[in-house]
Amino acid sequence: MINTSWEKISKWYNEIVGSEGHYYHRQVIMPNVLRLLKLDNQMKVLDMGCGQGILGKYLIEHDKYWGLDLSDNLIKIAQKEDKNLNHRYLVEDATREIKTNERFDRIVMILSLQNMKKPFGVFQNCAKLLNAGGKIIMVLNHPAFRIPKKCDWKEIDGKQYRMEESYMSSMEIPIDSSPHDRKDNQTTFSYHFSISAYSEMLFDNGMVIEKIEEWISDKKSTGSKALMEDKARKEFPLFMAIVARKI
């Protein structure tokens, strides 16, 4: 059985992400996630695949926050760095049954669902743990345009195109932590599913999609290819956010 925990790369991951997230966390993802959450003080939030607790730090004033992750090391970092003593962190496998009587108003998955081999089990947990009318906010590397090892850029006649090898097939894709120098290299896995597959899994677990947002990079290129690259950047989003409600 493949171990999909990020325990073996937790130190490396914590170093590259940092205490407030990497560039796209800070500039694109977190501002939009906070907007979509629409929290009031009474809402309970569950962060599935919380890593080292990035979202918890953005919700420092919100007491009703729980984070869970399969990596014990990342949970320990989250507990150590979170200044809100009311926040709770647990080592849990989100794809297996989570045994708790707690219920939540929001479940968030930020770039974590794509690293879980059995998303159907995750949505089963969401259906159980959400209050009626509660919502999931999940952020993915765009499943149509950002499939690891299956998508790439190609320049033809001064125009930049997004080339894809496959999309509809579900895939388990190995990812190396140090693909170039191979120093202390570790392998994790990314799991690709089509947008319709996510829609079906949500529906089968009693949830309906309220909205889908696609977020582009806010970076700007320089040099002779800047115009071409900036245009392509606006056309092919980096991330997809899905908001689904329990019915």
How many Cβ atoms from other residues are within 10 Å of residue 152's Cβ?
A: 11
Residue 27 lies in a domain: yes
Query: Which residue, 147, 110, 143, 107, is CA-closest to 127?
Result: 107
Which DSSP letter does residue 60 get? T
CA distance 53 to 171: 28
HSE-up of residue 176 (Cα within 13 Å, Cβ side): 9
pLDDT at residue number 187: 86
The CATH number linked to 129 is 3.40.50.150
* Interacting residues of 201 by C-beta distance below 8 A, sequence separation 6+: 119, 120, 123, 193
pLDDT at residue number 95: 97
Do residues 122 and 69 make contact, with C-beta atoms less than 8 angstroms apart? no
Residue 156 lies in a domain: no
Residue 160 lies in a domain: no
Helices 195-204 and 119-129 cross at an angle (nearest 10°) of: 40
Structure tokens at 54: 């990035």
- Ramachandran sector of residue 157 (left: φ over 0; alpha: ψ -120 to 50; beta: rest): left
Distances (CA, A) of 40 to 34, 46, 61, 62, 215: 11, 14, 11, 9, 25
Which DSSP letter does residue 63 get? S
* Interacting residues of 152 by C-beta distance below 8 A, sequence separation 6+: 162, 163
Tell me which residues of the chain have a pLDDT lower than 50. 1-2
| Number of structural domains the chain divides into | 1
CA distance 88 to 107: 14
CA distance 52 to 41: 23
Residue 70 lies in a domain: yes
Residue 114 lies in a domain: yes
pLDDT at residue number 2: 47
Do residues 53 and 81 make contact, with C-beta atoms less than 8 angstroms apart? yes
Residue 165 lies in a domain: no
pLDDT at residue number 7: 61
Query: Which residues span the domain enclosing 44?
Result: 7-142+189-221+238-246
Residue 151 lies in a domain: no
Residue whose pair of structure tokens reads 């956010």 in the numeric block:
241
